[in-house]
A and B are shown apart, each in its own frame.
Chain A
Amino acid sequence: MTTQTTPAPAGFPPPMKRFFDTELETFRSHLILMGETAAKQVRSSIKALVEGNASLADQVIAADDELDQLEVKIDEEAMRYMNLRAPVATELRLVIVGMKASHDLERVGDEATGIAKRAVRLSAELPLKPYVDIPRMANIALEMLRDALDCFLNGDTERALAVCRRDAEVDSINKQLYRELTSFMIEKPETISRAIELMFISKSLERIADHATNIAEEMIYLAKGKDVRHSDEVKKNGGAV
């Protein structure tokens, strides 16, 4: 049996302001802050790598605690809201998605910290090669993260769906870098330690793109109530959610 709907009669009262609406606004703002902080961490870690700036890398490492604390705060707020306010419909999806997205963003922060630690070590050595592919990967991953978070702000599910489809692009660059760095190591064994660091950085960026994809899928669920994970919609080109 399908859903039956009828337009409401004229005179339906406007949404009522509730005394606990501010709690939901705070929750949303913490999630937005977490998204911005995570993106900044990734940007700074790549900048530190490319510029050989160990000081900037140290700042990234030190700032990871901020994301960890935000994740804990968002979890606390979500648990409290579910416990005391019994949310349903969009609100319930927001609280569930908020908890999941904050976990993804915390993991993005961890990956950025990992990149920063490797940037510190690499800053003491000569660059193995000019950094081209890694900044390119980072840019794509950051664009994916931005688009996923934009969906949270404006409900643009088409852009979120595009994020899911871009994940393959990052995977492809990651594989290409693996092949290239492996050949470096075979030809010049003295490059092994630097090449391995870069392989891990590449893997971290690939993971960041995965987390951005997760967030995009979560935001589609929030906006549409539709779970697109592992569906053909996120794999195929075209098609609307």
Chain B
Amino acid sequence: MITSMKQDSQAGHVPAASTPAAPSAAPSTPPSNPSNGPRELPAFAVKDLNLFYGTHRAVQEVNLEIPNRSVTAIIGPSGCGKSTFLRTLNRMHELTPGAHHTGTILMHGEDLYRAGIDPTLVRRRVGMVFQKSNPFPTMTVAENVLVGLRLNGVKDKSLLRERLEQSLRMAALWDEVKDNLHKSGISLSGGQQQRLCIARALAVRPEILLMDEPCSALDPIATAKVEELIHEIKKEYTVVIVTHNMQQAARCSDRTAFFYMGKLIEYAETKAIFMNPTQPQTEAYVSGRFG
């Protein structure tokens, strides 16, 4: 529940976005496990969502439910509203001047946009990984991973050490950087930097992870590692991933949503989208006949 979101944050949940949100009330001890909200309610229930940039309607009348502990892929051509939609799920769009929305988004049954909800608290529970890796250039590998915790006042060294290793292991990066934790984050390769950003997002234990084309700049090996990571973390996290790579959507996700011109054209199990889509436009897009 959102009301418990504040309590959770005070108990130790910290900004989850790979670019951490502004610090707020200093937490004491972070909980060992994330709160994932009521199991019976979907991670997100989106109802009649419209998103405007000024007068331009970028997302139109979207209705969908994203189940807990699953991977949902969002596909569609450039400019179809995928990333915009993703950013409404943790209120990141509000950082864009002129952006506003209508409709409701319920996270585990609670309205994300209800009056009085602090957007930074939402972003603590809904982490985000961006297309381009963005480690803090002046920070070491370890500092990058722990920045969210430290910004929120976590000082317990054993906890920080534990969370550092856990997060880097979850991001499949530990073995590669364990001897170079004090090197600059930007000294890593592109694939390592992206996994570092994923580790940074995971370090604060979000409930949901949004990934906006996380592999678009990675080679096949780094991509495979990120995909393996997505597969692993879905046991504990709900993942929503925007991707242009059809095979990636097919490999990684449980459900797939196809967007076109701001509209949700089809949303179904990934197997159905790639084996037997009901909409001809979906078939044209996934089989590369679009355009």
Contact = CB atoms under 8 A, between A and B. Distances in A.
B287 A90 contact: yes
Contact of A13 (B63, B246, B291): B291
Given A88-B250, A90-B283, A4 B275 contact: no
Interface residues of B, number: 34
A4 B268 contact: yes
B278 A18 contact: no
Contact of B281 (A8, A18, A226): A8
B65 A1 contact: yes
A114 B60 CA distance: 64
A87 B287 contact: yes
B291 A89 contact: no
Contact of A88 (B63, B264, B274): B274
B259 to A, nearest CB: 10
Nearest to B64: A4
Nearest to A13: B291
A5 B291 contact: no
Nearest to B255: A1
Secondary structure at the B interface, as helix, strand, loop or mixed, is mixed
B266 A6 contact: yes
A89 B277 contact: yes
Interface in A82-111: 86-93
Interface string A13-51: 101101000000000000000000000000000000000
B286 A5 contact: no
B279 A8 contact: yes
Contacts of B246: 86, 88
Contacts of B39: none
A88 B250 CA distance: 10
Given A4-B268, A8-B265, A91 B260 contact: no
A86 B281 CA distance: 18
A135 to B, nearest CB: 40
A88 B287 contact: yes
A127 interface: no
Nearest to A4: B267
Tell which of B261, B263, B272, B276 has the most Cβ of chain A within 10 Å. Answer: B276
A225 B281 contact: no
A93 B110 CA distance: 42
Tell which of B61, B63, B289 has the most Cβ of chain A within 10 Å. Answer: B289
A6 B263 contact: yes
Nearest to B286: A88
B55 interface: no
B22 interface: no
Given A13-B290, A15-B284, A90-B287, A3 B275 contact: no
Interface in A70-91: 86-91
A70 to B, nearest CB: 26
Given A3-B266, A88-B287, A9 B276 contact: no
A68 to B, nearest CB: 31
A225 B260 contact: no
B265 A89 contact: no
A202 B204 CA distance: 73
B18 to A, nearest CB: 29
Contacts of B279: 5, 7-8
Given A4-B267, A8-B263, A89-B283, 13 more contacts: A3-B267, A3-B278, A4-B63, A4-B268, A6-B265, A8-B265, A15-B284, A16-B291, A90-B283, A91-B287, A92-B275, A225-B276, A226-B276
Interface of B: 61, 63-65, 67, 246-247, 250, 255, 260-261, 263-269, 272, 274-279, 281, 283-284, 286-291
